[in-house]
């Protein structure tokens, strides 16, 4: 058996091999359709510094955004650029709220811009609404960021009622409500996630990317914003980059317009469901007696292991069995100690789409064996 890695949240090689031909086809079609104008700086009617105009219209229709797409939708060079420029658009030292256990890159970016990060507790149903209101009522929180479905790193799906209630609270206190929908369309159990309308509350923003649904290498992200947020972002975008990647955005627009993108999403659900099932099944089988996650989609599952006192020793013992896991550096300031005192053990983030079902079974079996040996 080769090394089994639960470390990187990357698409499966089979998925990239499946989509490569379509990516090539629509890149060629984009260049043949739009010609050299696609390779230039902004061209009126075709592109502007906020993106390829046809893709912005496609995204507005797909996610239910009314009004002028050029005033509501911004395309970025990947999902991280969306987050980074949002964080950059606020003065240093601004107060931003996040789920207490959150996407590590979003957290790192907020801290890099020297913002004050407020952690909001979360559960399998969503965030603690009372804690959110308490944080917002102080009047200082400028932005609340969360991953609403298949949460990174925990794998939780918030209930729609929880998602909507948080939108209402953010609107009441004038706080931007930034919902990360990177995994919205990556559900594998045959169900569909319900989308929050970006028009219903005046401070709601939806941000996402094609990193997990299409490929990391093509680098395209997007944001669906109120007009005033686009106005705030405009000078930040202009001073950071002159334009995004127009050929990639044109390729994605044509891919979506053809129907091939939705067919590919269905393929991903069929590819990833056996891997998700293997993870859910093996966690219950080999880690009996602890609260193990049961995910419905996405890329991640957060695993708490109560009774493990030495994280490094546990990781080393697991690695000796040919299995790679790592400490999850995903805690808002001050929250790791709180959780460790409550759970009495560390958190590990497991990824599964790039791991074959049989390796997932063997990997979790090995983790379970080490856990039984080392737990206090």
For 113-130, write each residue's pLDDT tens digit.
Answer: 999 999 999 988 999 999
> pLDDT tens-digit profile of 292-330?
999 999 999 999 999 999 999 999 999 999 999 988 889
Which SS3 state, helix, strand or coil, does residue 246 take? helix
pLDDT tens digit string along 6-63? 998 999 999 999 999 999 999 999 999 999 999 999 999 999 999 999 999 999 999 9
Strand partners, 144: 97, 177
Cα radius of gyration rounded to whole Å, the chain: 21
SS3 123: strand
Query: What distance in Å separates the CA atoms of residue 199 and residue 71, rounded to the nearest whole number?
Result: 13
CATH fold group of domain 15-260: 3.40.640
For residue 209, give both structure tokens.
Answer: 């990317």
CA distances to 25, 200, 214, 249, 316 from 210, rounded to whole Å, are 17, 25, 5, 10, 34
Which pair of tokens denotes residue 170? 């953010």
Q: Taking the CA atoms of 236, 57, 63 and 201 in sequence, report the sign of the dihedral they define.
A: positive
Domain 272-374 adopts which CATH fold?
A: 3.90.1150
pLDDT of residue 327: 85
* 319: its two tokens: 């690695």
- Convert the pLDDT of each residue in 335-354 to its tens digit: 999 998 899 999 999 999 99
At residue 1, does pLDDT exceed 80? no
Average pLDDT for 220-239 = 95
**Over the chain, what is the mean pLDDT?**
96
The whole-angstrom separation of Cα 234 and Cα 218 is 23
Contact 43, 37 (CB under 8 A): yes
How much is the pLDDT for 241? 87
What is d(CA 323, CA 344) in angstroms, rounded to the nearest whole number?
23
Tell me the mean pLDDT in the region 233-239: 92
Beta bridge partners of 224: 73, 206
pLDDT, tens digit, for every residue of 162-205? 999 999 999 999 999 999 999 999 999 999 999 999 999 999 99
User: Domain map of the chain by residue range?
Assistant: 15-260, 272-374
Beta strands 204-209; 176-180: pairing state: parallel
Exposed e or buried b per residue across 230-255, where buried means at least 16 C-beta atoms within 10 angstroms of its C-beta? bebbeebbeeeeebbbbbbbbbbbbb
Strand runs labelled E in 121-257: 122-123, 126-127, 141-147, 176-180, 204-209, 221-224
| In contact, 206 and 193? CB cutoff 8 Å | no
| Cβ neighbours for 208, distance < 8 A, ≥ 6 positions apart | 79, 82, 180, 181, 182, 184, 221, 222
Q: How far apart are CA 238 and CA 201, in angstroms?
A: 27
Beta pairing partners, 302 = 349
């Amino acid at each position: 058996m080769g090394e089994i890695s639960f470390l990187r949240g990357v698409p499966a090689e089979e998925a990239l091999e499946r989509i490569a031909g379509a990516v090539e086809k629509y890149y060629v079609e984009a260049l043949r359709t739009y010609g050299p104008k696609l390779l230039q700086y902004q061209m009126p009617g075709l592109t502007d510094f906020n993106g390829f105009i046809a893709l912005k219209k496609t995204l507005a229709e797909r996610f239910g955004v009314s009004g002028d797409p050029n005033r509501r939708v911004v395309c970025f060079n990947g999902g991280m650029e969306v987050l980074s420029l949002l964080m950059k658009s606020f003065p240093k030292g601004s107060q931003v709220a996040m789920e207490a256990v959150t996407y590590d890159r979003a957290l790192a970016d907020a801290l890099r811009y020297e913002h004050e990060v407020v952690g909001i507790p979360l559960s399998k149903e969503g965030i603690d609404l009372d804690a959110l209101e308490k944080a917002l009522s102080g009047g200082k929180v400028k932005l609340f960021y969360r991953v609403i479905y298949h949460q990174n790193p925990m794998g939780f799906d918030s209930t729609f009622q929880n998602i909507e209630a948080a939108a209402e609270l953010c609107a009441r206190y004038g706080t931007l409500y930034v919902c990360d929908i990177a995994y919205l369309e990556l559900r594998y159990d045959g169900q569909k996630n319900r989308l929050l309308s970006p028009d219903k509350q005046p401070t709601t923003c939806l941000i996402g990317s094609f990193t997990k649904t299409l490929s990391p290498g093509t680098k395209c992200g997007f944001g669906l914003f109120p007009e005033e947020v686009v106005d705030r972002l405009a000078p930040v975008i202009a001073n950071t980059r002159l334009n995004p990647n127009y050929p990639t955005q044109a390729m994605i627009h044509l891919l979506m317009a053809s129907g091939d993108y939705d067919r590919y999403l269905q393929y991903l659900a069929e590819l990833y469901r056996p891997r998700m099932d293997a993870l859910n099944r093996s966690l219950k089988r080999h880690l009996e007696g602890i609260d193990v996650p049961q995910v419905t989609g996405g890329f991640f599952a957060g695993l708490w292991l109560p009774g493990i006192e030495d994280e490094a020793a546990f990781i080393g013992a697991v690695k000796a069995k040919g299995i790679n896991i790592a400490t999850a550096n995903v805690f808002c300031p001050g929250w790791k100690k709180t959780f460790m005192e409550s759970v009495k053990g560390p958190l590990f983030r497991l990824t599964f789409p790039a791991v074959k079902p049989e390796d997932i079974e063997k990997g979790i079996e090995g983790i379970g064996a080490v856990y039984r040996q080392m737990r206090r």
